[in-house]
A and B are shown apart, each in its own frame.
Chain A
Amino acid sequence: MRVELIKRPQQSVLFSVISPFLALGLTVVFGALLFIALGKPPLTALRLYFVEPLTELWSVHELAVKAGPLILIAVGLSVCYRSNNWNIGAEGQFIFGAIAGSSVPILLPGFQNFATMPLMLLLGMAGGAAYAAIPAFLKARFNANEILTSLMLVYVAELFLDWLVRGIWRDPAGMAFPGSVRFPTAATLPELAPTQGNAHFGFLLALIAAVAVWFFLARTLKGFEVRVIGLSPRAGRFAGFSTPRMVFFSFMLAGALAGLAGISEVSGAIGQLREVISPGYGFTAIIVAFLGRLNPLAIIGAGLLLALTYLGGEAAQISLGISDKVVRVFQGTLLFFVLACDSLIYYRIRVSFGNAAQAA
């Protein structure tokens, strides 16, 4: 069997649009097969995954809670990936942002006024940006592979957080579980509609960030710079753009957004700093970014979809006893199919069986 790739003269607009949907369809089919293999009713399971969480208001709120961080991080990653900076350490930047922002309620418990929350958010962004600056610096100055450095720093960040909440930042009044003091109201991100559910302002911040970054990428010169450097660094130099500066810019922007997501999650959803504050948002956000084809507006939808899988997984576990690990499998498969389908944007694929026709 031969698979031939024929390059299209220009990117296919049609496939740019339908590729994520095609990938979703393939994932659903794969999911159905997986459920059958696990001995669970496929249609019921799919309904639990994708439809059930949308049926009740409080569940939709949970969707927003989960989607917020995913969208925030993915929007930052879209700028990184578009400029060919492979930031895989968003999880670590999330954590550092959370730590930096949490320093206010933990170290200055008396500081409780209208400025507390904004300060926390700003520190969160600064913390994430600073942590992201490390792999950026190592890449710009030493040409060290940013995938590996940013990823190694994730492990370091997790260990650092663990040390903090078990040690110097541990709540002395806390019981068996390690964690910081619970944040006071002034240090808690307010909810959007408290009577309906738990969705907090983090989701709103995510939407604002998505629109802002979309505008930035599409309409401004700096956004143009991001795209040029990602597509062709030599042309970027010809245009007078600096690739090393872009490394810093993109990493720190993504770090700031990831840090913002971190502090919003901690102050909005969790209410304290704990040893585990993320169900892998930093990695799932990578999938969100690709599913949204690195377009911040599409990322909003992609983030909501992946948040849906988190909730659906919980629902399926309760109702059908399907392990919540299956969610991870779903998410990984989705990325896999997204990449495969994206190929159709650039190439036509021709599959031939037997020997290719020879010259007459």
Chain B
Amino acid sequence: MQRKLHPVLSACLLTVMAGSALASSHREAPFITTSPKIDGTDFYMFRSYEGVDAAGTGGRSDYVTLIANYQPLQDAYGGPNYFAMDPNALYEIHVDNNGDAKEDISFQFRFRNQLNSVAIPVGTQQVAIPLIQAGGVSNVKDANLNLNESYTVSIVRGDRRKGQVQTLTKVGSGATTLEKPVDYIGVKTLGNSSAYETYAQKHIHSVNIPGCNMPAKVFVGQRQEGFAVNLGTVFDLVNAPANVLLNPDLKDAAGNGGKHPIQQKNVTSIAMEVHKSCLTNGSEPVIGAWTTASLRQVRLLDGAPTSGHQASERPGGAWTQVSRLGNPLVNEVVIGLPDKDKFNASKPAGDGQFLSYVTNPTLPALLGLVLAGDLKALAPTNLPRTDLATTFLTGITGVNKPANAVPSEMLRLNTDIKPVPFADQNRLGVAGEVLRVGGVSNLGSAKDLAGFPNGRRPKDDVVDIALVAVLGGLCVINGDNNALGLNGVPGVPSLTSDCKPSSVPLGADSAKVHDAVDQATVPFLTRFPYLNTPNAGSL
């Protein structure tokens, strides 16, 4: 844009940017804000690092952990109903293991909330209580629970609707019903944090996946919000001085050591740990994955509901996808507001319709406007942005690009790259490691190429990585010799650009950008399900 923006237009742009930016996928699209129970917030996929040694072997290293978080920004005290999953929804994790942008494996989660109709004598009558618990809770299907949450998991091979459906079963019993722990109501009901974690871990189920020789783990339950972002500040027109955001020493200036306000919130995690051999296809080590949630297309509301639990709704028709999440931040800072609902309903195979949002991104221009008063101040000039298209749509050659990649948005993981113990993980993922060793030519010295965008681990600071990427940091790394092959997009010869340092207004400083909240300070578990014990509703 050549001419100076009208102040009102500028304000509108800033509002749009601030209102949608950098919340991974929390409340990111208009429709999904009306249905928080099926709002996918973050998706993680990584080779398990539980018990892994410095060489990336041992422990659970041959497994892949997939975590799909739903129900954003839960206040722990949100009783008396808390945050049960939606029994009228279908939650899914999809895996594309041949690069064709279509799901080859889908794990489907269906929830059931059983009301136990606990009643107490009042005078001469037995009267139903208004709470979901009638006393202390410490066991699976605890007798004091008035509401038992459970679920089933199916695997679909092929098309998610027309493929072969089989049900996962518990190792030993063969049962298909899996129990979910009640949310962390508070310490009087569930004990201290340690006691709650002990209770929650009783709900980690060892399951058999039909067609897979190795048993998997499944857990669904409330966790502490693990996503670190300076949410309120970002929403307030990035209300922080640029000299703070560019000073690496201040990368946690607003984070308070993992006690940032967003860490006071909870989410509900759907977590699986599956042997990598059960996810990959032949000699192709790269898998792509994303999570979706769907509702029935028609929802009849009963003006005179019967007694029961969530009895006002009678759904029917086909499953209709309303939430989609692969890479973090895509539907927030890449997709424009008019197309956010459309993106949530879409499939990767149709991502060509969103290509302009990637090749000609608005975020770097808006950041320039917000922080420097100039749309061009911070935006890399290599349009179309082949660096972003490659990172988000095909994977990076030699890192996480499948041999035959159809451009599409999903989280991609090279399962041949060994995991790294939590303490040794580079918070800035692959880009951070390349910078740490001094460039692509020194990759032989790299210790950690197992981070975002090669999958995503809880510790990966995807906000800072995304900021570095959109402001051209990958082009600085790509150098003048196209070291990462980012001057083009694999399989799309029509897209080329000069992704090199001189195209980046910030130059080397692009690698210093952060949001002043350090993901690496957030507490996590070093074992499945990795995300931390949730905050208690009362202390």
Is B truly associated with A? no
Query: B-side interface residues toward A, CB under 8 Å?
Result: none
Query: A-side interface residues toward B, CB under 8 Å?
Result: none
